[in-house]
A and B are shown apart, each in its own frame.
Chain A
Amino acid sequence: MKKTRVNSNSVLLLITIGLFAAMYAAGCVIYADKGFGHFQTFLNVLITNAGLICVACGMTCVMLTGGIDISVGSLIAMDCMLLAYSMGVKGYPCVPMLAFVLVIGIVFGFVQGFLVAYLEIQPFIVTMAGMFFARGMTAVISTAQLSITQKSNPQYYGWANAKIELPAFLGYTNNKGAVIVPFIRPTVVIALAVVAIIFVVLRYTKFGRSLYAVGGSESSAKMMGLDVRRTKLKAYVLSSFLCSIGGICYSLNTMAGAVQQAKGFEMEAIASSVIGGTLLTGGVGNVIGSLFGVLINGTINTLVISNGKLLSSWANIATAALLCFFIILQSVFALIKERKK
């Protein structure tokens, strides 16, 4: 009776990892002269995408239940704007403001989750309303381009520019003979911690397993005595909360606030999750895959930037194309599975 069939889900993840390796290798070959091969380039991908990693983790949790959260990009913009306005313009201290942002995330997620889980409104509609709400609130706070400077908040500035140096042997010697020590920023530590924690939550807690059960079959989960509604509510709260953490990372990276900030971020987060093997129909996926999804996304961006001549919208298009490809792949797998039955 024992069968070791090749699982279509692991195939998707393998494709993802393979794709990442291939893309990175191609980058190393084509843009060798621009230092693509240095370890720091890889670290830079992590630094730039720390926020996206947090958001993708939250997105994965929501998508596991079969839902979706497209409010994340706008929520990040709102967080960044709030931070930029309160610290950059008003000069408030940073710790309470960061706590405030996290609380906003929880409240925002609670409202969305309530509408989805208890009023049974389509998650897409709810979170789309959330997306416009948050984007509009950003403009309500301020329509100007704000930034946080060393002068307005030295503590926050210090955090943003803190370097955590890695062992020197991972670095390289530049043409002047100096050793360039690779470094990461605190945001990367936050992001990787989020990945680790969510990994544990998904694999080793009752809540995490309930997410999978709800996504696998909502009616079955109900029959087996799980509280489907509360699980969904929690998923949306978690997503918005992680999104706020991501917003803080994003803010630390950009130190700015603008209405049009983080536009299309929801798309990148969804794409990362999907590329990382999370099924749109729910029930399958994990954060490790999503991490790779983000890395692919980041590599595309780095490749586009390394080229120098390409417009940044190429990155958007490539991501959309990749998302399209993986969605079709999933759909084809699903059709094959159905036909087998």
Chain B
Amino acid sequence: MSILKKATKKTLFLPLMCLVLVLLLNIIKDPGFFSIAINNGVLYGRLIDILNRGSEIAILAVGQTLVVAASAGTDISVGSVMSLSACFCSVLLAGYGVNSTDTFRIPMLAGMLSGVFIGGVCGTVNGALVSKLKIQPMIATLILFTAARAIGLLLCNNQITYLRYEPYKYLGNFIPGCPVPTPIFVAAAVIAAAFLVLRKTSLGLYIQSVGINSRAARLLGINSARICFLCYVICGLCAGTAGIVASSRIYSADSNNIGLYYELDAILAVALGGNSLGGGKFNMAASIVGAYTIQAINTTLLALGISTDQAPVVKAVIVVFIVAIQSPVFRKWASSLAEKDARAIKEAAGA
């Protein structure tokens, strides 16, 4: 009993339970769910698929977790920024108005890095609006939520740009000779970098301090505004990276569809990880588990025959459910209920 109680108190408990639950559901439906095979020298299997497809969400979740922790708000522009970074990258590589290309005008790496960079620029804009002008985070990011995708469309001249250059596919698919999908490596790298930074520097401590009590943080020598700003920039860079991966996956820049609905997934990942959307303390590992849980849900929904367009219905319900449980009103109600229960038990014991 006490072990169970202790386990449920751990922050990782909720997201892991969700993940296990989703996986269990899958295995009941399809016993071959965990099987992994090697076809044509690359790994195949549902699990690999979840790890692979979940990469973008995991990368976004890293940035989003920081933003939520520092500013008690969410960056809803990440999906659009993904699209913009892909388009920016493609326009640099292929040139304006080119529909399809197999030769690049500038080195591929430079193009990709520029895509990540433009994500950072978007983060700068969001960060400035939130930390300097004190605009509510979600309103501030609403601007780029619309504008970034529109700018991306503009850059691509309102069409899909196909980048038919073999190495461009590597990042989003497979590097020849390596059986593991590349996005898994990218996500692992981003996650590793995040953990390294959180471990080796005091950034995590700073962010939590600012998120919990920014006035006190300022008085003890932390530049609260700058930390908040930095979180948005990091979030932008993460969105940029995710955008490039997504673009490489389909070796094209499809402004209308890259990163579509990803803002919801990113926020859901943070919430599912048990992190309060009210800011403050955060658990990065939990967010990442949350991210893969969402991909597991996505894959499951797809397996159940629910299309990508319809999936948001389920996810929206999950978001509302989680946030409702987290809400102070609900908690107060639940704790008063628990108290009543305890009292009843005591009385029963007394009688």
Query: Most A CB atoms within 10 A — which of B139, B143, B309?
Result: B143
A162 CB contacts on chain B under 8 angstroms: none
B23 CB contacts on chain A under 8 angstroms: none
Q: CA–CA, A121 to B145, complex, Å?
A: 21
The answer to whether B154 and A313 have CB atoms under 8 Å apart is yes
The answer to whether A119 and B330 have CB atoms under 8 Å apart is yes
Query: Most A CB atoms within 10 A — which of B256, B312, B314?
Result: B312
A274's nearest neighbour on chain B, judged by CB, is B139
The answer to whether B277 and A125 have CB atoms under 8 Å apart is yes
The answer to whether B143 and A324 have CB atoms under 8 Å apart is yes
B154-188 at interface with A (beta carbon < 8 Å): 154, 157-158
| Distance in Å: Cβ of A36 to nearest Cβ of chain B | 24
Return the contact of B307 from the options A128, A132, A139 (Cβ within 8 A): A139
B317 CB contacts on chain A under 8 angstroms: 129, 133
Q: CA–CA, A335 to B146, complex, Å?
A: 26
The answer to whether A331 and B134 have CB atoms under 8 Å apart is yes
Return the contact of A129 from the options B154, B316, B328 (Cβ within 8 A): B316
The answer to whether B146 and A319 have CB atoms under 8 Å apart is yes
The answer to whether A129 and B319 have CB atoms under 8 Å apart is yes
The answer to whether B312 and A136 have CB atoms under 8 Å apart is yes
B255's nearest neighbour on chain A, judged by CB, is A313
A267's nearest neighbour on chain B, judged by CB, is B146
B310 at the interface (CB under 8 A from A): yes
User: How many A-B contacts at CB < 8 Å in the complex?
Assistant: 131
Return the contact of A132 from the options B133, B144, B315 (Cβ within 8 A): B315
A280-305 at interface with B (beta carbon < 8 Å): 280
| Distance in Å: Cβ of A32 to nearest Cβ of chain B | 27
Return the contact of A280 from the options B139, B256, B277, B328 (Cβ within 8 A): B139
Q: CA–CA, A263 to B77, complex, Å?
A: 15
A211 at the interface (CB under 8 A from B): no
A314 at the interface (CB under 8 A from B): yes
B153 at the interface (CB under 8 A from A): yes
Interface size of A by CB at 8 A reads 46
The answer to whether B309 and A132 have CB atoms under 8 Å apart is no
The answer to whether B319 and A143 have CB atoms under 8 Å apart is no
The answer to whether A317 and B319 have CB atoms under 8 Å apart is no
B116 at the interface (CB under 8 A from A): no
| Distance in Å: Cβ of A140 to nearest Cβ of chain B | 5
| Distance in Å: Cβ of B48 to nearest Cβ of chain A | 27
B136 at the interface (CB under 8 A from A): yes
The A contact surface, by secondary structure, is: helix
Query: Most A CB atoms within 10 A — which of B76, B261, B309?
Result: B309
B136 CB contacts on chain A under 8 angstroms: 124, 280
A316's nearest neighbour on chain B, judged by CB, is B150
Return the contact of A130 from the options B144, B150, B315, B316 (Cβ within 8 A): B316
Q: CA–CA, A319 to B145, complex, Å?
A: 12
Contact with B along A41-81 (1 / 0, CB 8 A): 00000000000000000000000000010100000000000
A311's nearest neighbour on chain B, judged by CB, is B158
B264 at the interface (CB under 8 A from A): yes
The verdict on A320 contacting B307 (CB below 8 Å), with A130-B316, A137-B313, A327-B135 known, is no
A307 at the interface (CB under 8 A from B): no
The answer to whether A317 and B329 have CB atoms under 8 Å apart is no
The answer to whether B324 and A267 have CB atoms under 8 Å apart is no
B337 at the interface (CB under 8 A from A): no
A122's nearest neighbour on chain B, judged by CB, is B277
Contact with B along A213-226 (1 / 0, CB 8 A): 00000000000000
B324 CB contacts on chain A under 8 angstroms: 115, 119, 121
The verdict on A264 contacting B320 (CB below 8 Å), with A137-B313, A139-B307 known, is no
Q: CA–CA, A313 to B158, complex, Å?
A: 8
B124-153 at interface with A (beta carbon < 8 Å): 129, 133-136, 138-140, 142-147, 149-151, 153
The answer to whether B312 and A133 have CB atoms under 8 Å apart is yes
The verdict on A120 contacting B327 (CB below 8 Å), with A133-B312, A313-B158 known, is yes
The answer to whether B142 and A311 have CB atoms under 8 Å apart is no
Return the contact of B154 from the options A135, A143, A311, A335 (Cβ within 8 A): A311
A321 at the interface (CB under 8 A from B): yes
B138 CB contacts on chain A under 8 angstroms: 68, 122, 124
B225 at the interface (CB under 8 A from A): no
8 A–B contacts from the bound complex (CB under 8 Å): A118-B329, A121-B323, A121-B327, A124-B138, A126-B323, A129-B316, A280-B139, A313-B154
The 6 A-B pairs at the shortest CB distance, nearest first, are namely A136-B313, A139-B309, A320-B147, A316-B150, A132-B312, A136-B312
- Excluding A128-B76, A314-B154, A331-B134, 17 further A-B contacts by CB distance (< 8 Å) are A70-B142, A115-B320, A122-B277, A124-B136, A125-B267, A125-B319, A132-B313, A132-B315, A132-B316, A132-B319, A133-B313, A135-B312, A136-B310, A317-B147, A320-B146, A324-B147, A327-B129
- Interface set of A (CB-CB < 8 Å, partner B): 68, 70, 115, 118-122, 124-126, 128-133, 135-140, 143, 259-260, 264, 267, 270, 280, 311-314, 316-317, 319-321, 323-324, 327-328, 331-332, 335
